[in-house]
Structure 1
Amino acid sequence: MRSRLLPVILCLLLYGAAPAETKSDPVSYQLTAEMAEGALTGLKVQVRFRANTTGITNFGWGDGWAGERKLWQWARNFHVAGATSVQQIGDGHWRIVAPSGRDLTASYRIISAYDHDPTVEDSEQPKPVIRPDWFYVVGNALFAFPDGREAAPAKFDWAGAPGIGFASDLEHMAGSSRAPLRSGTVSDILESIVIGGKNLQTFPAADGSGVRVATLGQFSFEPEQLAHLARQVIAAERDFWKSDHGAPFLVTVAPIAGSPGSMSFGGTGRGDGFALWIDQRVPLDRMKWLLAHEYFHAWNPDRLGTMSEDRTSRLADFWFSEGFTDYYARALMVRAGLISPADFIAQWNEALAAYAASPVRNSSNDEMVLNFWNDEEIQKIPYQRGALLAAMWNARLLSDTKGRANLDVILHEQFLANRLPKGRAVEQFASLARRHGLNIASDHQRYLVRGETITLATNTFGPCATVISERRPIFSRGFDANASALAGNIVTGVDPHLPAYAAGLRNGMKIISHLEGEPDNSLTPYALLIEDRGKQRVIKYLPQGSGEVSIQQVKLHPTADKACPLSLSGVNRPSSIAP
């Protein structure tokens, strides 16, 4: 051992320590569409960077994103130009040996996770979609990077392909011949979205908002309507935070094929953009909440403090990052007049009904974290709990401070505080809340750690509405909706003791379309157009199961006036609430 260390020590004494590895050298990315006989077959990525001063540079994909731990699995033909040697050291990771500071170029291609257009049953955000005419990929799955360079400056170029349109929030960064709209790092490369195709429609930021919109496919609305709505929602939230006016932002929309028995739409924030996956039948009105939720993530949580890098701890704090975002998606839309007070109440009643009907409502936080990525019902819990707690705490603040403070005040203070070195978002929220007399520790233990049922006070939404409690029959479609969808919309698992069976629904029938009915609402008739032995007919029934459930609902007062959008959304005395 001594004979091995001595030459190294002598080298350090004679020549000094090796220079620290520079993290300031830019990492440059180039993306190219691969084509064969006019069809897209893959995406080629080139990454240019300098070798570490140690002579060894590790390179690969991140540990995971959105529940997917194998982000590297769609990469093929990995190669590094300029390296002395390249050794694979694990799935999606390589050790590159090259002289200090040498220019290296890593290249690989990404293939599609699908051999068909994604549907509401199988579309997942981390998976690359590369179809013959279009593509849609998140940066986490598309881009690998040199280890330890996440904070290094980055550049991006789209090399183009004949007849293929392209849009990405990476266009906001510098390219080889493009001036940047903002600075960018390797972390921004990873937190990105790319979209392209033969029929891509783009709507540039021509109104001073900085907001671009890019869509693929046909929907129940015109793309121009979506672009207009997106700018309205974004303007309302920028006004709330009093920041980002005119900042570059990209909204991307890709289609997913619908199912007769279900409708789906979703999205994810991408830093200075967000990515939407939309069932082609979704009406434009349903898009308002999704746009409002996703854009609020431009502030929550990243600009309200840090979230834990540990996956378990991060999930445990989703009540703040996701639940508070749900709360404000509704609140800011009604304040801005994008939805009516009646629509606001309807959205809350749907959320309250879903919470009451949840079979995992009382799961502890530990159980939620353990099963989050494996159970769709569990995934809803932090969203539901966080929104309910936001409404509860907002009402308590307004009451205890006689209208001098509300949840807005705390979040605005938190936003301003995090222009300085950031603190932990959840801890900072709790600390700022205490300054205004709201101690959340007891509620955190009861409702989050232990999973007790959250019950809203009757006056939670101010003088324009009342929260009531009632009992109603348990919601049940009367058949297994998930199994039916997996079976190609063939009815499966009909319960012979429930109204669906009494109305004539039988196993083996094919669902053509869902005509009526609301999720978790057992009082609204449910109607299906089915095909049975070559003939079509409508089966209609009340979606009620055995037993009853206690549920809270919000009732709008008949005397509701023009001040109601503010009071419903948590501002009872707007003149006394600080900006």
Structure 2
Amino acid sequence: MPRRLCGLPILVVLAVLAPLASAATSPIPIALRLERLDAERGLSVSLRTRGDSDGRTTFANEDQWADVRDARRLIRDLRVEDESGRALSVNQDVSGWTVRNAPGQPLTVRYRIAPSGPSVLGAEPMAVHRPIVHAGMLHLVGHTALVLPTSARGSDTIAFEFDARAVADDAHFASSFGPGAHLATTPVQLATLRNSLFVGGAIHLSTLDTPDGKIGVALSAMAPGFDRRAFDADVRAVLGGVRAFYRDSQPWFLIGLHGATGGEEKGIRIGGGTGLQRAFTTYVAADYDLRDHDERGLMRWLLAHEYSHQWIGQTLRLSIQGDDRKEPRGYWFTEGFTEFFAVRVLTRAGLFDSAQALDAFNERILRYNLVKRRGLGADAAGDRFWSDPDAEQLLYRRGYLAAWQAELSLRRASDGRRGLDEVLRALILKARKQPAYRVDNTALIAAITAGMPAGDAAVFRRFVLDGGDSPLRAADFAPCLSGYVQRDGAMLDGRRFDVAPGTVLQYRRVDGAKADCFKH
């Protein structure tokens, strides 16, 4: 049973141990402690590091990350102490919290994260993007929860350690770094620390041993009737299928599944997920029912999609003009192609049958047609990704359809010998061999269209960058599927949508075609 720690506040302390100017030659020490968890005051954290060599050190969490805005307001009562425990004068402005210090002086930053309250489906921002401190449990993503020295670069090496034993025992705590509430000093990049997940307290934690590494499953705020055994079985099967596809293994991976309420009126059962360092986290209806065929299929898809980001997004990484804020301009690839390969992996692993694969295919075509501004280009849609649901849907669905157009063209041009599988694996292999390797839209399009006929390559490039209607045609999937145009609007999840008659291309199995002819 989960251990509840409602009577204890969580405190985060940050200590600075040496000048950041020497980061190129020596790791920056950061020691994180979770000190107290309290129902009224929230979580208190401690983090040790060193002051900047110029005598002026600024600390900050990421004020804007994903769809979270104004994350600094979640940080309360921040103070910075020297090695004797004396409080230093802190100046707060838009850049963060700044102190004057002796060069390389050991500093300790102490603050608390305010209670979050229960998580609500359909609310903005997504619950798992902001710190969750509620009902004796904590769920933290480094981007928004950790207050770190701003002079450190993402590529800087951190000598990182943490201790959460004041708020949870080893059976009730896990992180991107492994199971347990304590981590001895470990070298990591600052970007890795920011992109890490920490979950503990009133949670149910199971550790699954697999041939390719351990998988941690941390459940928080899920209803008592949630079928943990069925979920663990699907985690094993889905992650095993994804690892087999990418021909890779991981010594440790953490899945956070957080329960939420409030989606009943809108019919929302899954709130969304985020791929992180050796982890992903998502939140769903607390009473999510894995006995329901459709709900179980949707959960399997979510697991496959989010886990695939360990390769598409974490290993093979985007860099758009060197500006993290422009990264969504490439989400047609990291989200849309992940959609494509998630369904492909599930189908090949036998976790989606041919009917589910065809339903997933048709649904994504339909959802693209429901986007009103299909003429938005990759840049314009990417810049609106976190603020405009239409732009978000557009990039997911456009990338998925572009993946199909590329797959069909490459297979035709090579008589079936080469397709997107080979393209993606080659890109990931290069990224593994060259950790600093990054891709932008130009590099991705060049790699994907290599081997395509010139006309097909031009269609792909134009569709990805400029938008417009789907490039798929009715005869593209013969002899397995035939395309037809819906004449009376569009149906999805039992609801009719206002789509102009005759504009939505859908596919059905050709009479006499084998059941497994269309395998995605």
Please tell me the TM-score bracket, short chain as reference. Answer: 0.7 to 0.9
Write the mapping of 1:127-526 to structure 2, written as runs, cut at 5 A: 127-149=130-152, 150=154, 151-153=156-158, 154-161=160-167, 166-172=172-178, 178=184, 183-198=187-202, 200-208=203-211, 209-216=213-220, 217-218=222-223, 221-244=226-249, 246-257=250-261, 258-265=263-270, 266-282=272-288, 283-308=295-320, 309-311=322-324, 313-418=326-431, 419-420=433-434, 421-437=436-452, 442-443=458-459, 446-461=462-477, 463-473=479-489, 518-519=492-493, 524=494
For 2:251, the aligned partner's letter is A
Partner secondary structure for residue 335 of structure 2: helix
CA distance in 1, matches of 2:233, 2:394: 32
1:247 to 1:466, Cα distance in 2 relative to 1, 3 A: farther
* Structure 2: unaligned runs, 5 residues or longer: 1-18, 289-294
- 1:550 offset after TM fit, Å? 1.2
Whole-angstrom distance in 2 between the partners of 1:19 and 1:90 = 21
Alpha-carbon separation, structure 1, partners of 2:256 and 2:101? 39
Are 1:58 and 1:94, in contact at CA under 8 Å, matched by a contact in 2?
A: yes
Give the AA of the match of 1:196.
Answer: G
CA distance in 1, matches of 2:301, 2:22: 46
State the percentage of identical aligned residues.
22
How far 1:251 moved relative to its partner?
Answer: 0.5
Aligned to 1:552: 505
Distance 1:93 1:123, change over 3 A: closer
Q: Could you tell me how far apart the structure 1 residues matched to 2:499 and 2:247 are?
A: 50
The CA deviation at 1:417 is: 1.4
CA displacement at 1:280 relative to structure 2: 2.9
Aligned length: 479
Deviations 1:214-251 (A, max 9, x none): 1121177401211211121111111111112x420001
- Seen in structure 2, the aligned counterparts of structure 1 residues 331 and 28 have a Cα distance that, compared at 3 Å, is same
In 2: Cα distance, 1:164 partner to 1:238 partner:
27
What is the CA–CA distance in structure 2 between the aligned matches of 1:168 and 1:558, rounded to whole Å?
A: 51
Q: Which moved more, 1:76-85 or 1:413-422?
A: 76-85
Contact 1:301 1:307 in 2 (8 A): no
Residue deviations 1:157-180, cap 9 Å, x none? 213337896433244399866486
TM normalised by structure 1 equals 0.76
CA RMSD of aligned residues (A): 2.9
Kindly indicate whether the alpha-carbon contact (under 8 Å) linking 2:327 and 2:382 is maintained by their aligned counterparts in 1. Answer: no
Aligned partners of 1:563 and 1:254: how far apart in 2? 35
Secondary structure in structure 2 of the residue aligned to 1:205: strand
> Distance between the aligned counterparts of 2:103 and 2:135, measured in 1?
42
Partner of 2:166, secondary structure, is coil
Deviation at 1:317, TM superposition (A): 1.0
- Aligned 8 A contact 1:33 1:40 in 2: no
For normalisation by structure 2, the TM-score amounts to: 0.84
Q: CA deviation at 1:33?
A: 3.5
Counterpart Cα distance in 2 of 1:55 and 1:345: 62
User: Which runs of 5 or more structure 1 residues have no equivalent in the other structure?
Assistant: 1-17, 476-517, 527-542, 570-579
Cα distance, 1:19–1:142 mapped onto 2, change above 3 Å: closer
Shift of 1:331: 0.9
Larger Rg: 1
Change (3 A) 1:312 1:97: closer
> Greater shift after overlay, 188-197 or 158-167?
158-167
Task: Give how far 1:271 is off.
Answer: 1.6
Letter in 2 for 1:470: Q
